[in-house]
Structure formats: C-alpha cells, structure tokens
Amino acid sequence: MSDRIKDLLNEHHLKLVYKDIESEGYIVYMPDPCPDFVFVKDGLSDEETERVILHELGHAEADDDTQKDYKDNPITRICCESGAKNFVVHEQIKKYIDLGNDVSSANWLNLAKYIGTDNYCLVQEELLKYGVE
C-alpha cells in the first residue's frame, strides 16, 4: 500500500480491515471516539484493492451529513458514489504523474480503463491539470 493511501487513512481516522465479504468494500462510520472502518474484500488483486480503498476514501472526503440518507435516497446515493469515483480518478492520475510518466504522451483512454472508469471526460480533465492538451 502506498504512503499516500496510508496518510489518507490516518487523516480520516480510518482503520483498514480485510474480510471475506460479498461486496468489494464499504466504509462503516462509528460513534466518537471509536475509529471508522474501511472493509475490503479479501483476495482482491493489489490494483483492485487500491481502487476500493481509494473509493472508500473518496466517501470519507466527499460525503457529508447527507450520507446518512445513502441507503434510502437514490439521489443521495448517486451524489455520494459520483464523488467517490471522482476521487479515485483524481488520485490515480496524481499517482500516474508522480511515477514520472510523460504527461504529454498519456493515453487517456488506456488510463481510464486501467483506473476502471468510463468517465473519459474526467480523466481528460484531470490530465489537463498537469498540462496535457
């Protein structure tokens, strides 16, 4: 696991738990002063695990008090999921750049497929932040 992910988990006071679960992952908010938990399906590849953790961190970053309506309100769910997915794209593009990849020759379509998104516009927008036209 990258230092960036470890830092984000610590920043949000999240404890990571690998477990045999049906979904790929989810976040559980606990009452204070208990830490919150990110559960990740045991046995995922390193890339899948990273994506799941980033997705759940996206919820920790973007969700606010509206998240309590997540299960009951489809609009809230769409908003929360969109924010989490956008966070994954942002972090994966940042990682791509930090690894020293040539931004000017980045193939946004292949990068989007690697990230696991079909939001090609968002991938292009994130690359533009680093000077890709």
Query: Where along the chain do its domains lie?
Result: 3-128
Sign of the C-alpha dihedral computed for residues 68, 7, 49 and 109 taken in this order: positive
Residue 68: predicted pLDDT: 64
Sign of the C-alpha dihedral computed for residues 37, 41, 42 and 46 taken in this order: negative
Residue 61: predicted pLDDT: 81
Residue 2: predicted pLDDT: 86
133 pLDDT higher than 60: no
Task: Give 126's pLDDT tier (boundaries 50, 70, 90).
Answer: very high
Give the tens place of pLDDT for each residue, 22-58: 999 999 988 888 889 999 999 999 999 999 999 999 9
Identity at 16, one-letter amino acid code: L
Beta strands in 33-121 (DSSP E): 36-41
Task: Quote the tokens at residue 106.
Answer: 């980045």
Residue 78: predicted pLDDT: 85
Picking from 65, 49, 54, the residue whose alpha carbon sits closest to that of residue 12 is: 54
Q: Read off the pTM.
A: 0.81
User: Which residue would you say has higher pLDDT here, 15 or 103?
Assistant: 15
Give the tens place of pLDDT for each residue, 60-106: 887 766 566 677 778 878 888 888 999 999 999 999 999 998 888 88
Residue 83: predicted pLDDT: 87
